Amino acid sequence: MCSPNAEAFLRALPKCEHHMHIEGSLEPGLLFQLAKNNGVTLDPARYTSIAALEERYKNFTSLDDFLLYFNLAMAVLITEDDFEALTFAYMTRVHADGLVHAEIFFDPQAHVGRGISLSVVVAGISKGLEKAEAQFGITSKLIMCFVRHLPVESALESVESIMEYVKTGKVSGLGCDSTEKGNPPEKYKEVYQRARDLGMKHLTMHSGEEGPAAWVRTTVEELGITRIDHGVRSADDPEVLKLLVDRNAFLTVCPLSNVRLRVHTDVSESPIPKFMAAGVKFSINSDDPAYFGGYVLDNYLAVHKAFSFSKETWRGLAIDSVNGSWCDDDRKKEILALLDNVMAEWADKEI
């Protein structure tokens, strides 16, 4: 447990989150409510009660085990209002955590594949984000993810279909998620090249969570992607760490997710200190907070409990998270000014 001062300081730090799947913020309570509203029949063997579901989420055996529940739950997201409610619920929750900028993933293939139009999904999420900016001042970017478990052709179609929203500024980037097993990075080189050809500038990829450090190297060297989601296996190879530094790459690490999905048995096993020693830049994120037992502040607190960082270390991590964001320079300056104010307020306090 962190001290009250440490918790207060970490809550006050202005945070940027770069790795959060909006579908992964669907809390059991909202899931059951939307199922009722939309007349969706949930699998009675898996969805007996909110409490039972919360308990099940504590016992995932693997990424694939989690993905089963993640994909089943999406069935309750049907209307524009559903996506808006989901998004605004997340933003309301993280506002209390000190989040000031969010870069959020969504999985269009998962929704279009079950008959929900892309326009409904994007409009609903966008309304939630706009409402949050108006009420809380949280800026945001929306990142389309294609999923590894579907054919490459489906990913290419998804990239083509999303471009109208890229042109209007509703969608800001492209990512790739779902299971790494059997799906190495080079399989998707064509997808990322097509996105570049169409004018998409912000690219990221889940790599090095289940897959080895060599896959992170491939992501950087062959696909030319320098934002890596997870990337924890990079720590297994000093040469890959050096590559990340040389290419000014940025990792979006998710400590509590790594524990829930059995990548690590405890946050103390996280390679965060190794990244810091090597000079690798990263941010701390929640991934799928409704499933993994914690939002962004919970991840900060877990890291502090494991490593007892100083205020100056946290300041450096906060600066890195701002600089690694896809917001414009003016917004970065605003967030850094907020950070300076917090550090001044805490100058004479211990954590």
Residue 287 counted as an annotated binding residue: yes
Q: Look at the chain and count its residues.
A: 351
Q: Are 212 and 236 in contact (CB under 8 A)?
A: yes
Identify the residue whose tokens are 């990239």: 159
Residue 288 counted as an annotated binding residue: yes
Distance CA 226, CA 122 (A): 26
Q: Are 23 and 257 in contact (CB under 8 A)?
A: no
Distance CA 70, CA 105 (A): 14
| Neighbour-count burial of 145, counting CB atoms closer than 10 A to its CB (0-12 exposed, 13-18 middle, 19+ buried) | buried
Distance CA 7, CA 5 (A): 5
Identify residue 151 by its one-letter amino acid code.
P
Q: Are 322 and 336 in contact (CB under 8 A)?
A: yes
Identify residue 105 by its one-letter amino acid code.
F
Residue 107 counted as an annotated binding residue: no
Q: State the CB neighbour count (10 A cutoff) for residue 69.
A: 18
b/e map of 253-268 (b: 16 or more CB within 10 Å)?
A: bbbbbbbbbebbeebe
Query: Coil, helix or strand for 228?
Result: strand
Quote the Cα angle for 344-285-116, to 5°: 130
Identify the residue whose tokens are 């042109």: 167
- Residues serving a catalytic function are 209
Query: Coil, helix or strand for 100?
Result: strand
Name the strand (E) or helix (H) holding 70.
helix 63-73
Provide the angle, in degrees to the nearest 10, between the axes of the packed helices 152-167 and 189-197: 20
Distance CA 327, CA 135 (A): 19
Q: Are 159 and 196 in contact (CB under 8 A)?
A: no
Residue 206 counted as an annotated binding residue: yes
Binding residues for Zn(2+): 19, 21, 206, 287
Binding residues: 19, 21, 206, 287-288
